[in-house]
Amino acid sequence: MATKKRYNFKGLDDIFGESVSDVVGKLENNKALADQAKDFVDIKSLKPNPFQPRKVFEKEEISELSNSIKIHGIIQPIIINSNNEIVAGERRFRAAKEAGLTEVPVVKINLTKIQMEEFAIIENIQRVDLLEIEEAIAYKKLSVNSKLKQEEIASRVGKSRSHVANIMRLLNLPDYVQNSLLEKKLTMGHAKPLLTILSDKDFLDYVYNRIIKDDITVREVEQLVKNKNTDVVKEKKITNPNIKNLENKLMRKLGTKVTIDSSKLSIKYTSIDDLNRILEILGFIEE
C-alpha cells in the first residue's frame, strides 16, 4: 500500500510560489491529487483552527452546505495539521457535523504554529469574504504575532498598503462599535464617519445610538458628523420616514407643532386656551 504523502513547508515568504496557499488550492481543486493523499478520520477528532479569523459563520450557508453533503458527500477533503487542527475547510467541517457524518476525508500537512496562524489569516482574506472588522482583527494578529509591518502584510495578502491601513483603523473604534460591526448591526459605511470623531466620545456615543435606535442611513450619519460643529447639531433630529409621517399626522390633527425625538414626544401650545383646545382634541377634556 502506498504511503500517504505529508506536505512540509519552510515558510510563507512567497505567497504565490510553492506556498501553503498553492498546495491547499491544488489539493482542494485537483480531485486525483487529493485522492492520492487523503485519509478518513473520526470527525470528533478534528479541532477548529485556533487562529481562525472568521468570527461569524452564517447558519443558513452551513445548512445549505450540509444538505449538499448529505446528497453528494464531501467532494474536497478537509486540510488538517499533525494535531488534527483544521487548516482549511472549517465550513465543510461544520456542515459535515450538522449532516451527521462520523468520518470525513482529510489531507495532513505539517505546519508550525506561526505558519498555521499566517495561513489561516491569509487563506481567509484571499479566498473568503470576511467582514471588514474580521479582516482588521486578522491584520492586527499578523502585525503582533508575526512582527509584520503594514507594507509586509499588504504584500502577503495581495492588497494595497492604504487598504490595510484603512481597514486597521476600525480597531480604533470603541469595543461596542466593533462588536456591532461583527454582529452586522451597522455597516462599514456607518463606521467610517465615526472614525473622524474618535476624540469626542460623547458625540460618538450620540451618533452610534442614533444609528442603532433610529436606523438612520449612511448619508444621514455623514451629514450628522459633517454638522458636528454647528450650534444646533445635538438638537437636530434625524428620524426615519415613519416617524416623520407620524409627526405630520399629529400636527394636522392638533393644529400645532409636534416633534418626536428618541424617547420624547413634544407638543407645542401658545396659551392656556390653546392647551385646553389640544387636550380637548385628545379627549382629556369633555366638551
- Closest alpha carbon to 103 in 176, 31, 36, 44: 44
- Closest alpha carbon to 24 in 82, 74, 75, 87: 87
Inter-axis angle of helices 161-168 and 150-157, to 10 degrees? 110
CA dihedral 8, 10, 15, 16 (to 10 degrees): -70
Active site residue 90: yes
Whole-number Å distance between alpha carbons of 168 and 51: 18
**Active-site residue, from 85, 90, 220, 247:** 90
Q: Which residues of 238-252 are buried (b: 16+ CB within 10 A; e: fewer)?
A: bbeeebeeebeebee
Instruction: Decide: 110 and 82 in contact? Cβ < 8 Å.
Output: yes
Instruction: Decide: 183 and 176 in contact? Cβ < 8 Å.
Output: no
CB half-sphere exposure, 139, CA atoms < 13 A = 31
Active site residues: 90
